[in-house]
Structure 1
């Protein structure tokens, strides 16, 4: 593939759908596993998700190699959040997708490890900054849904403190960027060692 086209075929859509489902399942599992530890949940969840999720993203990137991939990925993630009741997250993730996609301008960017790392880190920043969106957009409705979903008051208070103090948010961003980059490095090794041999990616 040239990497210059945005014409997604059925097989491309299926690949994205399968990898997105796997990514979301992993994200849900990580979220459920860390929600009882507020500090880990707020400062580490996005990074852990990005570390593991990099594998699924890289499979898509190397198989499809078409512009628009990360935009579609981010938009679908926003749609999933909207379907769960967080409708205000859809426009947010559309913007995140646009910014990440801009980093992939050029030929065969989706098969370039460095470009993929940059793109995935931008998306990761969007993931961790998304923690603050509910507070600034719809705190009362978010608080009600979060408490009904099993959040503790302590978690919500730590979340509020995190997003209202730039230095604390910066810690979350740095952790997420680091784990996102390490995830791409780890994913690249898996691609070379297993996925390419199995013919899953070219």
Structure 2
């Protein structure tokens, strides 16, 4: 049986864990940023809703899966949520901070338990919380600052786009569709990532 000291060491983050966390989260952020830029160049604001909601998690989940498995300790999900929350707080608004904190707490509860980060199904389920939190970064300004936010949008988009965007981020059926797309993208990305993880990463002990 492991002593308490050994158990404590196994849950303590090492410098290697921190580097793995930073590198993989940077990769995920770069992927999402590039995908967003391309999406905005190709699609209208009305249509980005239907693409980004599944494309972003599809691209990011395989990398998150590898990171979570390699570190395998508490705080991977909540830390990832908080990092993105800080980024959005500085680029989107202060309202993102409390959203990130709530998402991080829920995420940590979802992943509570021994070896949860080595359970692929739980890792994928936990990462859905990440993307639901991401979705609320878009919903909150429409709910709390609707008039002011609409005026900002009208500077950059035409009336039809603004009307569609308001509906997509305030009406329940659209919100549920967005969350379903986030979940679908995460699950498919998780299936892709799990095959790579089992066949290559775990055998080679990469990261």
Cα distance between partner residues in 1 of 2:170 and 2:153: 18
Contact 1:44–1:172 (CA<8 Å) still a contact in 2? no
- Listed as ranges, the gaps of 5+ residues in structure 2 are 1-5
SS at 1:130 equivalent: helix
Say yes or no: does 1:166 pair with 2:166: no
Larger radius of gyration: 2
TM-score with structure 2 length normalisation? 0.84
Partner of 2:194: 188
- Say if 1:68 and 1:5 are closer, same or farther in 2 by CA, change over 3 A: farther
Contact 1:55–1:183 (CA<8 Å) still a contact in 2? yes
**Distance apart, 1:3 and its partner CA:** 9.8
Cα distance between partner residues in 1 of 2:176 and 2:104: 21
Cα distance between partner residues in 2 of 1:37 and 1:158: 11
Contact 2:142–2:170 (CA<8 Å) still a contact in 1? no
In the TM superposition, 1:26-175 aligns within 5 A as 26-35=31-40, 36-139=43-146, 142=149, 151-153=156-158, 154-175=160-181
Deviation per CA, 1:153-195: give whole Å up to 9, x if none: 3443322111221111111111111111111111101112332
Which has a greater percent of helix? 2
Contact 1:71–1:101 (CA<8 Å) still a contact in 2? yes
Cα distance between partner residues in 2 of 1:168 and 1:125: 13
TM-score with structure 1 length normalisation? 0.86
Cα distance between partner residues in 1 of 2:14 and 2:136: 32
Cα distance between partner residues in 1 of 2:36 and 2:75: 27
- Listed as ranges, the gaps of 5+ residues in structure 1 are none
Cα distance between partner residues in 2 of 1:147 and 1:183: 35
Structure 1 runs (4+) greater than 6 angstroms displaced: 1-4
Partner of 1:20: 25
RMSD: 2.5
Cα distance between partner residues in 2 of 1:57 and 1:3: 24
